[in-house]
Amino acid sequence: MSEQDLQDVTGLKRRSLQVQWFQRHFGVTPVQRADGRVIMTWSAFEGLQAKRAGVLPGATAPARTPLIPIRKAA
């Protein structure tokens, strides 16, 4: 992603705020260059969006634990 792409996606110009945006919305700290620029590919960003939406191909929902009654009904 270019710097303009990152600004369009996050709505932020400052690099440190862009990093905070990725942490807040996706729970990940993006890779940064030595000068602080965020390094993100479009495919990585789309993967983060798919994971957040729960639509990753081949992903299955976690199995639900069985319900155990606490006591017998009267």
State which residues form the domain around 26.
Answer: 3-53
CB 36 within 8 A of CB 15: yes
User: Is residue 24 in some structural domain?
Assistant: yes
**What is the pLDDT, as a whole number, of residue 57?**
67
- Specify the number of domains making up the chain: 1
Query: Taking residues 13-24, what's their average pLDDT?
Result: 93
pTM of this prediction exceeds 0.95: no
10 domain-assigned: yes
Could you tell me which residue, 36 or 55, shows the higher pLDDT?
A: 36
- Identify the band that residue 68 occupies on the pLDDT scale cut at 50, 70 and 90: confident
Nearest to 30 by CA among 51, 44, 9: 44
